[in-house]
Chains A and B, each alone.
Chain A
Amino acid sequence: MKSFLTGIGVMTCCIGHVACTSEQAPKPGVTVSCESTVVTSARIYAIIQENCTNRSCHPGGSSPLVADFSTLAKLRTYINANGANWRLRVTGLTADMPQFNGYPPLSPATRDSIACWVDKGMPD
């Protein structure tokens, strides 16, 4: 029993040494103008996947009342049809998406990037 506990202790120390690091995300950058910013569909859709589809909220295949973002084309279709709602709930100052439920809100920089991409006509 003692040797087993010693083994666990040694293993914990090794894991702690190798896998215990401390890093902080960088300070959110300053806002740059939309005109000079290059925002690609791939980047925006990766954000949508992380925050909207991977959390089982908008994966498609569920109720027709729930927006379907399962593909980039469907995302574009939704934004074209519901632009005001998108601005209100996703990129506006009082945006409530992604819904709280313990998920962190989108950073202001991310919201600005999405808004910029939409304003530019959702380019590839």
Chain B
Amino acid sequence: MKHMQLRILSALLLIAPAAVAQDDLGAIFGKDSVRRDPVIATFKSTRIINAQSNETLARGDLDFRVAHRFGDMGGADGGSATFFGIDNSTDIRIAFEYGITDRLTAGVSRAKGSGHFSQLYEVLGKFKLLQQTMDNRVPLAITLFGNAVVTSMKSSPDKEAVSYFNKFSSRMSYTAQAVVARKFGDRFSLALLPSYVHRNRVGYMDMNNLFALGVGGRLRFSKRVALVVDYFVPFRDQASKDYYKTLGIEYYNPLGIGVEIETGGHVFHLNFTNSTATLENQFIPETTTSWLQGQFRWGFNISRRFSLGH
């Protein structure tokens, strides 16, 4: 017993100076320097599901991304006949995005397209304006996103069709977006996405300029698995909604729900969404599929990063 007490006493004597030394280090370097560190990994990927996250790529990183959306799981075009949508693909996007600096990302992509236009080419840029800090001096992260998209599809011969292009600019559309995000603790992140979509050519009674507000979130379950959700509310005017309703077309707000799995270098999303398209220029203004009518689909986003600058 006496021997045991001696051992405990020796251990305490060894630990105590180490604890004092930690305090001394804190005093030398200043605890504030630790607390002012930027908050990292608000989201694990540059996209939540459909929506952009506030994350940009590190300088010299190349992100190879593949996004795929299958056909309707239910409704008239789903069910067992199409193996719950897997026989159809509504959109496929392949992208290369590159971190020019830690704050600035640029990229190009090709998407099948889903909506009025198909065969899409995209140029995108993303700039991290503000980064949330650990000490809350900067409570929010703000990232700006913009893209320009052009379709290479054949022009329709029908002048009344949206896809009738009498000049090159009719093929273009653009998105401008701010991603305002905050990480609450270790497990939960939230983002608000005020968005603006401009399409140079639209159908009769459609809107060239459309504002929308998106919201996205990430709830981490474990070190590698998280629940991700995003939702957009496009502010389409009532006259436009009413006109398209008379044609049997109803617009819905895109909602995505998914599971994010991080596997070291890869971030893999398994998601379900009612939007058929992958690009903001289409899924914000042109989602005409509804969760409640079984018109949601399985999709995935795969991201593989390569470090080219180190």
| Residues from 96 to 121 in A contacting B, C-beta threshold 8 Å | 96, 99-105, 107-110
Asked if A100 and B289 sit within 8 Å, CB to CB, the answer is yes
A49 and B91 alpha carbons, distance in the complex (Å): 19
With A24-B202, A100-B76 as known contacts, state yes or no: A110 contacts B170, CB within 8 Å.
no
Write the nearest CB–CB distance from A88 to chain B, whole angstroms.
13
Asked if A28 and B204 sit within 8 Å, CB to CB, the answer is yes
Looking at B22-30, B31-39, B150-158, B178-186, the stretch in contact with chain A turns out to be B150-158
| Residues from 95 to 141 in B contacting A, C-beta threshold 8 Å | 101, 104, 114-116, 118, 125, 127
A123 and B97 alpha carbons, distance in the complex (Å): 50
Q: Which residues of B contact A16 (CB under 8 A)?
A: 174
Most B CB within 10 A of own CB, among A1, A5, A23 = A23
Residue of A1, A100, A107, A108 near B77 (CB, 8 A) is A100
A12 and B146 alpha carbons, distance in the complex (Å): 10
Q: How many residues of B contact A (CB 8 A)?
A: 53
Q: Which residues of B contact A43 (CB under 8 A)?
A: 157
Asked if A102 and B289 sit within 8 Å, CB to CB, the answer is yes
18 chain-A/chain-B pairs, Cβ below 8 angstroms: A12-B146, A25-B161, A25-B162, A25-B164, A25-B201, A29-B160, A46-B157, A50-B163, A54-B118, A99-B88, A100-B72, A101-B71, A101-B72, A101-B77, A101-B90, A102-B277, A104-B115, A107-B161
Asked if B90 and A25 sit within 8 Å, CB to CB, the answer is no
Residue of B76, B154, B160, B295 near A107 (CB, 8 A) is B160
Asked if B161 and A102 sit within 8 Å, CB to CB, the answer is no
A107 and B205 alpha carbons, distance in the complex (Å): 14
Asked if B160 and A102 sit within 8 Å, CB to CB, the answer is no
- Say yes or no: is A74 at the interface (Cβ < 8 Å to chain B): no
Most B CB within 10 A of own CB, among A29, A55, A104, A108 = A104
Q: Which residues of B contact A108 (CB under 8 A)?
A: 247
Asked if A22 and B208 sit within 8 Å, CB to CB, the answer is yes
20 A-B pairs besides A47-B157, A101-B71 with CB distance below 8 A are: A15-B148, A16-B174, A20-B200, A21-B169, A22-B200, A22-B209, A23-B208, A24-B202, A25-B162, A26-B159, A28-B204, A43-B157, A99-B88, A100-B288, A101-B88, A101-B276, A102-B90, A102-B288, A104-B116, A105-B249
A103 and B112 alpha carbons, distance in the complex (Å): 12
- Say yes or no: is A8 at the interface (Cβ < 8 Å to chain B): yes
Residue of B88, B204, B286 near A25 (CB, 8 A) is B204
- Say yes or no: is A19 at the interface (Cβ < 8 Å to chain B): yes
A54 and B156 alpha carbons, distance in the complex (Å): 12
With A102-B114, A105-B249 as known contacts, state yes or no: A28 contacts B153, CB within 8 Å.
no
A101 and B174 alpha carbons, distance in the complex (Å): 23
- Say yes or no: is B55 at the interface (Cβ < 8 Å to chain A): no
Asked if A24 and B203 sit within 8 Å, CB to CB, the answer is yes
Q: Which residues of B contact A96 (CB under 8 A)?
A: 76
| Residues from 1 to 47 in A contacting B, C-beta threshold 8 Å | 1, 4-5, 8, 12, 15-16, 18-29, 43, 46-47
With A43-B157, A100-B295, A102-B276 as known contacts, state yes or no: A1 contacts B118, CB within 8 Å.
no
A104 and B115 alpha carbons, distance in the complex (Å): 6
Asked if A99 and B77 sit within 8 Å, CB to CB, the answer is yes
With A20-B198, A25-B203, A102-B91 as known contacts, state yes or no: A54 contacts B153, CB within 8 Å.
yes
- Say yes or no: is B172 at the interface (Cβ < 8 Å to chain A): yes
A1 and B115 alpha carbons, distance in the complex (Å): 38
Q: Which residues of A contact B127 (CB under 8 A)?
A: 5
Top 7 closest A-B pairs, CB basis?
Answer: A102-B276, A102-B114, A22-B208, A102-B90, A21-B200, A21-B169, A25-B203
A29 and B154 alpha carbons, distance in the complex (Å): 22
Residue of B75, B91, B169 near A19 (CB, 8 A) is B169
